[in-house]
Amino acid sequence: MTASTGSAIRSSPGLGRGPRVGAGTRTRVARSARYYLPAVVVFVGAVVGWEVLFTVLNVQSFLVPKPSAIVAALQANWSGGRFPLLPSAIATLQEALIGLAIGTVAGVAVAFASARWLTARGILLPLAVAANAVPIIAFAPLLNNWFGLLNPLSKALMAAVLVFFPVMANVTRGLVQVEPGALELMRSYAASEWTILRKVRVPNALPYFFTAMKIATTLSLIGAIVGEYFGGANSVLGRLIVNSASALKFDVTWAAILFGAATGILFYLAIVLIERLVIPWAATMRADS
C-alpha cells in the first residue's frame, strides 16, 4: 500500500505543485550563469588553445588563421572596405527573413489545407515528401536564372523552398495528431469543425510550429548564403565568403563565417524568445516534466 499512499498524499490540495515561486531575478541569473559557465570555459579554452598551438606549430594562415588574425579581420572589415561584414550580414539576413516568411506562410497554408481535407492531404503529402527528397540546393542556379542574378528575391526563394517542408510537415502533424479523447469531448459539446480547429487543433499545433521554426531559421540562412554563392550583388555574406577566399584573404573568410554563425544563433534565440512569449505553458511543461 506504500505506493498508493504516496500518490494519495500528492493529490491532496495543499501539496499540489504551484507555479514556480520565490525564484527572484538574481537567483535566476545566478542559476543560468552556473548552467552556462562550463560551456563558456570550454569555448574560451579552445580558442586560447587554438591560438597557442597554431603559433607554436607555425601553421600557415592560408590553412587556418589564428583567432587573433580573425579578430583583426573582423575589426578591419566591420562595416567598410572591400569586404564590409555588417552590411553584408544584414543584407543576407533580409533575404533569409523574406524567404522564411514566404516559406512559413506557404507551409502553414498547405498544412491547414491538408489537415482540413483528406483529399488535399492525399495529394499534397506524397508530393511534398517527394519534393523534399530532391536536393533542393541544386535549384539555386535556376532560381538565379528565373528571378535575376541581382534580385534578392532569387536568394529569398531558395530559403523559402528549404523552409517550406519542415514547417508544412510539423504543422500538419500538430493539427492532425490531437488526442482522440479531445475530439470525443468536443463532439459531446456538439462543437463545429471550426470551433474544434480554433480551440483544439491550432493550440495543439503551436509547439510543433515553433519546433519547425527553430529548424527553419537555420535553413533560411543556409538557403540565402548558398543562393549567393552562385552569383549576385557583392555585399552579401555568401559573395563575401567566395570573393575573400579567391583573394586568399582567409582571415576575412573566417570572419564572415563567424558572422554567419552569430546571425544564425541570434535568429534562433529570437524564435526561442517568441516561443516563450506565445506559448509559455509549453516551456514550463518541459521544465516541470
> Contact letters (x/-) for other proteins, 17-36, by CB under 8 A?
xxx-----------------
Q: How far is the CB of 240 from other proteins (least distance, A)?
A: 43
Collapsing DSSP to helix, strand or coil, 57 comes out as helix
Kindly state whether residue 47 participates in binding other proteins, applying the rule CB under 8 A: no
Alpha-carbon gap, residue 58 to 188, rounded angstroms: 75
Q: Quick check: 86 and 235 in contact, CB under 8 A?
A: no
Q: Which residue has the cell 459531446?
A: 188
Residues whose CB falls within 8 Å of the CB of residue 251, separated by 6 or more in sequence, listed in order: 61, 65, 69, 70, 72, 73
81: left (phi over 0), alpha (psi -120 to 50) or beta: left
The answer to the question of residue 276 lying near other proteins (CB under 8 A) is: no
* C-beta of 8 vs 46, nearer to other proteins: 8
Q: Is 8 among the residues that bind other proteins (CB under 8 A)? A: yes
**Beta carbons within 8 Å of 20's beta carbon, 6+ residues apart:** 284
Closest CA to 115 of 193, 188, 191, 190: 193
Binding mask 154-183 for other proteins (x = CB under 8 A): -------------------------x-xx-
Is 281 a residue that touches other proteins (CB under 8 A)?
A: yes
Site string for other proteins, 184-223 (x = CB under 8 A): xxxxxxxx---x---xx--x--x-----------------
Catalog residues that contact other proteins under the rule CB under 8 A.
1, 3-5, 7-8, 10-11, 13, 16-19, 179, 181-182, 184-191, 195, 199-200, 203, 206, 279, 281-282, 284-285, 288-289
